[in-house]
Amino acid sequence: MIIQVNTDSSIENDAALTAHVQTVVEKALSRFSDKVTRVEVHLHDENAHKPGDHDKRCLLEVRLAGLQPQAVTHHADSTHNALAGASDKMKNLLDSLLGKLNKR
């Protein structure tokens, strides 16, 4: 599973952030590693440097072998919480999607 991290200009994309993103995404999606080929993580601060509630956004796009890409978005007060929320949403989405396909 390839994990690509993208940030806007107001979020510093350093080695620590990349390592954290990879750890969280791999843990959340480990059950689906045989189906997931690539994960794109987009982190944005919608208010830039101005304060605000729930202004950090994480968009997760997952590419699945033989299936259409799936995407989820989560807003939170920090990039770490936005990533955690989006990872949980993606895990639930893949549980549902792949569970339905396995029943067929």
Q: Using 50, 70 and 90 to split pLDDT, how confident is the model at 100?
A: confident
Residue ranges of alpha helices (H) inside 8-78 are: 15-29
What confidence category does residue 95 fall into, taking pLDDT thresholds of 50, 70 and 90?
very high
User: Phi and psi dihedrals of 16, rounded to 5?
Assistant: -65, -40
The pLDDT of residue 81: 95
pLDDT tens profile 27-77:
999 999 899 999 999 999 988 777 667 789 999 999 998 899 999 999 999
Domains in the chain, start-ordered, CATH in brackets? 2-103 (3.30.160.100)
Report the C-alpha gap between 54 and 60 in whole angstroms.
17
